[in-house]
Amino acid sequence: MELAGKVALVLGGAKGLGREICFYLAKLGVSVSTTYWDWPEESASLASELAALGADHLAVETDLREPAAVTELFDRIRQKHTRLDILINNIERGGMPVVHGEYTSEQWDLELETTLKAKRWVFHHALPLLKKSGAGSVINISSIAGLIGRSGPAGLIFNDGYSAANRGIGLLTESWAREGAPEVRVNELMLGFFETRHAQGTRGWSLLTDAQQKAIIDHTLLGRSGKSEDLLKALHFLLTGADYLTGATIRLDGGYPLGGEQVPPMPPGVV
């Protein structure tokens, strides 16, 4: 896929990695529509900065947990662009145990509705437009919480509901790849500990002790958290260099899920 001239919808563009994705695509000549809901200061900045890049971009305040709001969002996208080539399903809400403590019913619902339900409704509305483009691409952004749950050093950051929702994203990725084929490719980018997402730059990370932060980094085989450029390189590959890839999950986590066990030296043996 050549990116210049394409139309993309990026969910959750107000801050963090979602914001990085928006401006990365916009600078490559993609017309970007994005959503925001909370984070009022960051949202206002997003809208003004996108507008400064040109009239082709759109920032919409939308509660993606509400199906009616998703319908209205796609009405606006059709009015502005009449097409859609790329969907970056980035929306999520993860309650960190170190921040939120014991679950409330409201927190559980918020995590599952935002991380899982919103993605489904958006894809449902996006699929006809993506198929019409003839070469659409969907990237579901998920978390290794779906693999490891609330365990080990990550247990202070990943909550149960968030982990369960991310496990579900994998099933949706496979189902949607079947629905989208052959016109639309659907893949999943599963992230580990990234700056502004689970690691540095988040409230939860700042509440960890130095020892707790070190335990997470030490558990990561590459010995560091991810950076936005790590994500953008992988995203670019999935959009432009992976024409034969669909229904797949790429883990971008520095090896965190493998980092708990060491490989012992080979013993001399007895033969």
User: Which residues in the chain come in under a pLDDT of 50?
Assistant: none
Distance, in Å, from the CA atom of 165 to the CA atom of 149, rounded to the nearest integer, reads: 10
Does the pTM exceed 0.85? yes
- Closest among 137, 151, 124, 262 to 188, alpha carbons compared: 137
Distance CA 147, CA 144 (A): 5
Confidence (pLDDT) at 185:
98
Class of domain 7-250 (CATH, top level) = alpha beta
pLDDT for the residue 1: 79
In 3D space, the residue among 62, 57, 50, 47 whose CA is nearest the CA of residue 11 turns out to be: 62
Number of neighbouring beta carbons within 10 Å of residue 149: 18
